[in-house]
Structure 1
Amino acid sequence: MAGMNWFWRALGGRQGRDQKRSLGLVAAAAALEPELAELGDAELAERARAGRDDAPALLAALREISRRTIGLRPFDVQLQGALRLLEGDVVQMATGEGKTLSGALAAAGFALRGSRVHAITVNSYLAGRDAAWMGPLFEFLGLTAAAIGEADGPAARRAAYAADVVFVAVNELGFDVLRDRGALATGERVLSPAPVAIIDEADSALVDEALVPLVLAGSEPGASPAGRVTDVVRRLTRGEDYTVDEGRRNVFLTDSGARRVERLLGIGSLYDAAHVGGTLTQVNVALHARELLRRDVDYIVRDGRVALVDGSRGRVADLQRWPDGLQAAVEAKEGLDVTEGGRVLDSLTIQQLIGRYPVTCGMTGTAVAAGDQFREFYGLTVSVVEPNVPCIRVDEPDRIYATGADAFAAVVAEVLAVHATGRPVLVGTRDVAESEALAAALAEAGVAPAVLNAKNDEAEAAVIAEAGAPGRVTVSTQMAGRGTDIRLGGADGARRGEVVELGGLCVIGTGRHRTARLDDQLRGRAGRQGDPGSSVFFVALDDDIVREGGAGEELVVQPEDDGRIRDPRAAAHVDRAQRVTEATMLSIHATTWKYNKLIGDQRDILDERRDRLLATDAAWEELAAAEPARAAEVEAIAGPAAAREAARGIMLHHLDEGWSRHLADLDDLRESVHLRALAKESPIDEFHRAAIAAFKGLAERAVAGARETFRSVRVTAEGVDFAAEGLGRPTATWTYMVNDNPLSGGSAVGAIAALFR
């Protein structure tokens, strides 16, 4: 970490200057500490409020308040982190350096300046934990803090969002935004305006999951592969009837495969108008489910249901599902009951969600590696805060093997060897299947590891807290964003000295991840606060990331008897493959951002009109001007108040229906627009042209539909029975996250399947 400063100075960027300035302000705050320690509580709180715009005074007061209320005296580096957050940066602080406290201090500073703060976390457990833990600090200052829980109803959410500092999981926040955007009355909304977002694990939320669409759906059966299609796909042969491009996550029907499908289904051409938007799509979705989605890797089956695995965190994503056709295809593949589909009412990406805040800042242990994305997509600058105590962890070079079987055997041998010394071992695996296979191999060798994966992630806090105990072996899928520090000697640190003497925590990775940031997050579990520790990754040349990123490159090396490869060219090949994979992901991010930005801009325009309809009598005025005789009749029958509510409900219904249809049309457009690439046209330019043209008529069509309904609908003093008129909301709505990236480019047939990723 210390070596990073020269890099920033060499670039002539603001990092070096900001570091020097921040250190000076923190030193000035330290000079005020003796004086503030003598003040009473009321005087200290007043000094904090008075100094809210004076950085040294504010930081000094917050340090003393933290010491008194939660028993933690912030280190200088934690004050530095809080300062950089207050100035709108993404702060890089190593694991175990106290990011939670830095975020709370910054939240208090923003709140004292009159800005409500959303402290955005990766899950609801951390939101509740942090609100309870840091609550006394805010209370001392006369500020309120609250957390949003998954089970909270509208009233509880409305009350929590009214607090000065709101701790909320990113998906819960996004779903509340979606529900508020569909409200039929201002009183139904739960959110209060908040200009500031402080994002924990910022690279996870802003980069890894930035393009994940959060979806509000209504209970209307959606298209899904029929059982007959699934049966036909089972009879196709890979390499003959279809090919798979795993790097681009696409499946391509061959010409002979298309003819075989046509013959088995008893239809004419898959590509004629009658089938291209239905049967062909279903075939491609079923192929995608068969070839590219793997049980115990991408999903698990639990209690007769398909549960998706969040690949970046190794947890079950309870609220996540694939678009309905793909979800149904996986269920059919596993022989489960196929769940009902639904019509998408609205959607929002996490990137669009965060873009709503005038001020955004965040914290993570691996910000520098995502600096390009922060700058390009959010206009954010990264600040590096050095560790309070220098890191002495030993990061060994990768151990590279010819095959996955060789690497697996070497991992088992290494775990057993380190375990024999008494050192605690943490093994980071890439998926559920791998974690279970490793646990079984270790158990057979006489070592019973604690296992943490998507099948038992409810045990997360307890498992991770004890991972630093002597002799403990922990096998976990993806450690990013786990949110619980590993203390040497166990949760209470009672045997810390013993573990320090042994060399600290040993971290072992069973393979490189798709980004170096995730590798670094795993490594960062050792070496906390100057603790001793070590890390090493075992990599096989047939790992997915190496094969995909290194495609087209020939590497001729000679493995040893145990499969290990010591040729330095192999290490260079692995590094290059990971960089290629990261570059591909960034390219996908940039392309998808261009699609989503236009949709987000269109939604902003729609929101302005919707807000005007909700808050004013604009709906009544428009309909009454267009249909004066009918307006007079309705007002005479129902009364002015009910007439205006009826007009508002009618207009909102048609506007929302129009947006839902528009989203469906854009999905169809995105599915087919890659065909333009065959004609040397730009898919993104063609998408923009068509999407803008489609949107232009949305409001006009909504008004025309509202006028037609207004002429015929029955209105009484009780208002309109919207359900009876077929104008109500769906009988059930639910929220979910669409898993995986929906775009990749590709050929005409492959692009259709690509939509459903």
Structure 2
Amino acid sequence: MKAIQQVKTFFQRLKSSNITDNLLPYQEQFNQILAQTNQLSLQSDAELQALALSLKSKAKLAPSVDTYLVDLYALVIQAFIRTLSITPYAVQILAAIALSQRTVIEMQTGEGKTLVAVFPACLQAMSGKGVHVLTFNDYLARRDAMWTLPVYTFLGLSVGYIEEEHTLEEKRRAYHCEVTYTTAKQVGFDYLRSCMAYTLDEIVIRELHCAIVDEADALLIDEARNPLVLAANLEVAAIDLTQVARFVTHLQEQRDYLTDEYARNVYLTEWGSTQAEHYFRLQNLYDSEQHPLLTAINLALQAKALLHRDIDYIIEGDQIKLIDECTGRVVEDRKWPNGLQSAVEAKEGLPIQSEGRILNSISLQHLMACYEKVSGMTGTARQAAEEFAKTYGLGVTVIPTHKPYQRKDHPDRVYTHKTAKLQAILQEVDTIHRRGRPILIGTLTVRESEELQAHLQQHGITCTVLNARHHEREAAIIEKAGMLSAVTIATNMAGRGTDIRLGGKEAIDRERIIALGGLHIIGTNRHESNRIDKQLKGRAGRQGDPGSTQFIISMEDDLMVKYNLKSLLPARYQQIRQEQALENTTVSKSIDQAQRIIEGQLHEMRQTLYRYSSFIETHRKIFLTQRQYVLFSNDNNLSPLQQGYILYQYDRLWSEYLTDIASIREGIFWERMAGREPLTEFYKKSDVLFQDLLSLLETTLTQMHTLPDEDLKIKRPSATWTYIVSDNPFERPLAGFLRRLAMLKF
């Protein structure tokens, strides 16, 4: 009951003062901006540019650039009018004023978030300290930077963007622009590299001053649990993982291994253990000296039974590419931790690419805390308001739409099984397609999107697929998705950062499509977070256009099975099987309720992870401050050889600390069995570990002065690489929680 009350309390707090739709506090500045804009309209381009240069000089000396918000925003409006022939709407200007505060603005799809971000970006850039506009992916960073370039140039501001394949010199130039468009993970990786620089030339990034975060809930909430990692020194596995994968291939479920009720864990049966001992010629698989082999077998079983190609990952060349469940995109550089990545590589017969030794790591939550100023924008902020406030100190401001909202969201149609759902989807597509309306179908996985394409083609309906295999064609596919009779199937890739225009880029047949009812969205699955469902719905009905949405789901869908949501339904619906949709509204309400509970529990999980990582982050900052002092020191008592040796010792010892802290985390929850609070014990143990680290560092550096120059020469890693550690998909307690909830008839 305590857990249930925590969830209730969480959602009650969402209705608190963290959320506002009151824009009256900004009205006076808004009126001043409009009056100033009218005055500036009489001046020449050269006069406006001279004024911008003057403001820039003053802002660099001012305690706060906010003093010049009215003057600067009026200039930005004129810059949009004169370079892009765009006159910002009133709600966009109000949103820009709100965005200059520590807040996340909620703006619906197509309302111009990219335009709005330019205002505070220009304002903060006047300080000369640099602004990062953090986008959802590299494509959006490049697109947004190039589209807004004329405005920044007109105002005398430099703008750059960063893509993953850019060289260090290209990145350095972009970071030293006054406005930089990039992704948060790119900033994080470059920050980690700069924190481990051995010379000033190796530092590519400036101090983190201001961040304006696009799709803020995706970055600051959904991605926050995945640490960014800098690694090096490839390590060869002591176990032949290919041999282990070959053994596991022949194992049969029920006989040799079992999965738990929710298919989130897998383990050998007694018969399976006997088979392993025979195959590897062992006396006892569970002897302590066989622990590495037992671990490898368990990981291979997870790779075989719990991770599926074209659902959890795809293969490109000889590499495993993980698919983000929230976005449907391939996430470059993401890996499963603790040997699971290597197990999947072995399963697929690919070269084993070790995860290596972690040199440094930071969570996105703590990366954002490094910025002096943070604000954000998204189409779905309200549901995450409590977390924005608690973790980042950000409020939520809801911005009204420029034109009246016309999209119609139909109630979910819920079927008892997948076959009935598929027939309903085919019928829905056929009916809407015959009228000529464009259709966007949102699917959960790559496999589902391609299977649905095959079914539609068998029914004579031509369609285009956008999934992780076709990410390079994303812009072209989205550009045509709003055209007459277009049918587009997409994973969550089409859920964020995209704007589907009726009639396509050239607005061909736009008025006819509007008359037909606009874009129709079909969702084939509910997600763990209702925010993701709303992002899909938000592709339709942009800027007052008509549109409609319809989720067609079944009780056999992944979300329903994973969390045993059927058990939350009234008893008479738990065993029924029929071809028609379930009519009772109780079904949809039960699914909504379960989704809210899942969101609340995921929130609590992120907060727990944050409490653990915050203590480590405190240690990292202390250690980094000492290291940076050495790097930037002009002590003529240290030779370059000695300085390099000291920096290397900091890096070596910090890497060992991260390895040891991971071991503590692995077993910390056993403390509860002894009646102790795991978090408190973690604080105690990690603090002791850190004090030992400082003592060892002092001893090492003291001994340095007795070493000959030859021993001071260090060998740095010949190469480093980055990846994002996906949160462990096999340790989520939600299914058990929901099962207990159903038993309580909540």
Scaled by the length of structure 2, the TM-score of the pair is 0.89
Deviation at 1:9, TM superposition (A): 14
CA distance in 2, matches of 1:208, 1:222: 33
Report 1:80-229 matches (<5 A): 80-221=94-235, 223=237, 226-229=241-244
Q: Report the counterpart of residue 729 of structure 1 in structure 2.
A: 716
Deviates more, 1:48-57 or 1:102-111: 48-57
- Residues 480, 442 of structure 1: CA spacing in aligned structure 2 closer, same or farther, 3 A cutoff? closer
Q: Is the 8 A contact 2:20 2:396 kept in 1?
A: no
- Residues 551, 243 of structure 1: CA spacing in aligned structure 2 closer, same or farther, 3 A cutoff? farther
Deviation at 1:349, TM superposition (A): 1.6
Q: Report the counterpart of residue 556 of structure 2 in structure 1.
A: 542
Q: Is the 8 A contact 2:224 2:363 kept in 1?
A: yes
1:32-62 alpha-carbon deviations (Å, 9 max, x no partner): 3322211122433455527962544433332
CA distance in 2, matches of 1:746, 1:689: 26
Q: Is the 8 A contact 2:209 2:371 kept in 1?
A: yes
Q: Is the 8 A contact 2:417 2:577 kept in 1?
A: no
Deviation at 1:65, TM superposition (A): 1.8
Q: Is the 8 A contact 1:545 1:581 kept in 2?
A: no
Q: Is the 8 A contact 1:216 1:736 kept in 2?
A: yes
**Does 2:589 correspond to 1:580?**
no
Q: Is the 8 A contact 1:617 1:648 kept in 2?
A: no
Deviation at 1:506, TM superposition (A): 0.3
Q: Secondary structure at the match of 1:526?
A: coil
Q: 2:709 aligns with which of 695, 701, 714?
A: 714
AA in 2 matched with 1:657: R
CA distance in 2, matches of 1:328, 1:73: 54
Deviation at 1:713, TM superposition (A): 4.3
AA in 2 matched with 1:474: T
Report 1:284-323 matches (<5 A): 284-323=298-337
Deviation at 1:302, TM superposition (A): 2.4
Q: Secondary structure at the match of 2:206?
A: coil
CA distance in 2, matches of 1:14, 1:598: 26
Q: Report the counterpart of residue 692 of structure 2 in structure 1.
A: 697
Deviates more, 1:177-186 or 1:297-306: 297-306
CA distance in 1, matches of 2:647, 2:101: 40
Q: 1:44 aligns with which of 39, 44, 48?
A: 48
CA distance in 1, matches of 2:66, 2:300: 58
AA in 1 matched with 2:697: A
Q: Report the counterpart of residue 519 of structure 2 in structure 1.
A: 505
Q: Report the counterpart of residue 740 of structure 2 in structure 1.
A: none
CA distance in 1, matches of 2:686, 2:269: 31
Q: Is the 8 A contact 2:263 2:306 kept in 1?
A: no
**Does 2:615 correspond to 1:616?**
no
**Contiguous gaps of at least 5 residues in structure 1:** 1-6, 622-642, 748-757
Q: Report the counterpart of residue 651 of structure 1 in structure 2.
A: 646
Aligned residues: 710
1:727-754 alpha-carbon deviations (Å, 9 max, x no partner): 312222111122234783779xxxxxxx
- Residues 244, 10 of structure 1: CA spacing in aligned structure 2 closer, same or farther, 3 A cutoff? closer
CA distance in 2, matches of 1:258, 1:375: 50
CA distance in 2, matches of 1:687, 1:272: 29
Q: Report the counterpart of residue 566 of structure 1 in structure 2.
A: 583
**Does 2:726 correspond to 1:739?**
yes
Scaled by the length of structure 1, the TM-score of the pair is 0.88
AA in 2 matched with 1:699: L
Q: Report the counterpart of residue 413 of structure 1 in structure 2.
A: 427
Q: Report the counterpart of residue 248 of structure 2 in structure 1.
A: 233
Q: Is the 8 A contact 1:180 1:190 kept in 2?
A: yes
Q: Is the 8 A contact 2:389 2:395 kept in 1?
A: yes
CA distance in 2, matches of 1:617, 1:33: 50
CA distance in 1, matches of 2:294, 2:494: 38
Deviation at 1:279, TM superposition (A): 2.8
CA distance in 1, matches of 2:50, 2:240: 65
Report 1:249-268 matches (<5 A): 249-253=264-268, 261-262=276-277, 264-267=279-282
Q: Is the 8 A contact 1:82 1:102 kept in 2?
A: yes
CA distance in 2, matches of 1:10, 1:653: 47
- Residues 248, 84 of structure 1: CA spacing in aligned structure 2 closer, same or farther, 3 A cutoff? farther
CA distance in 1, matches of 2:182, 2:263: 34
Alpha-carbon RMSD across the aligned residues, in angstroms, is 2.7
AA in 1 matched with 2:29: L
AA in 1 matched with 2:401: P
Q: Secondary structure at the match of 2:266?
A: strand
Q: Report the counterpart of residue 3 of structure 1 in structure 2.
A: none
- Residues 10, 353 of structure 1: CA spacing in aligned structure 2 closer, same or farther, 3 A cutoff? closer
Q: Secondary structure at the match of 1:455?
A: helix
CA distance in 2, matches of 1:218, 1:310: 24
Deviation at 1:177, TM superposition (A): 0.7
Deviation at 1:250, TM superposition (A): 3.5
Report 1:478-489 matches (<5 A): 478-479=492-493, 482-489=496-503
Q: Secondary structure at the match of 2:289?
A: coil
CA distance in 1, matches of 2:682, 2:695: 21
Q: Is the 8 A contact 1:216 1:734 kept in 2?
A: yes
Deviates more, 1:79-88 or 1:283-292: 283-292
Q: Report the counterpart of residue 33 of structure 1 in structure 2.
A: 37
CA distance in 2, matches of 1:208, 1:12: 22
1:365-421 alpha-carbon deviations (Å, 9 max, x no partner): 101111121112111101110111121000000000001222122112211111111
Deviation at 1:211, TM superposition (A): 1.7
Q: 2:611 aligns with which of 594, 600, 612?
A: 594
Q: Report the counterpart of residue 294 of structure 2 in structure 1.
A: 280
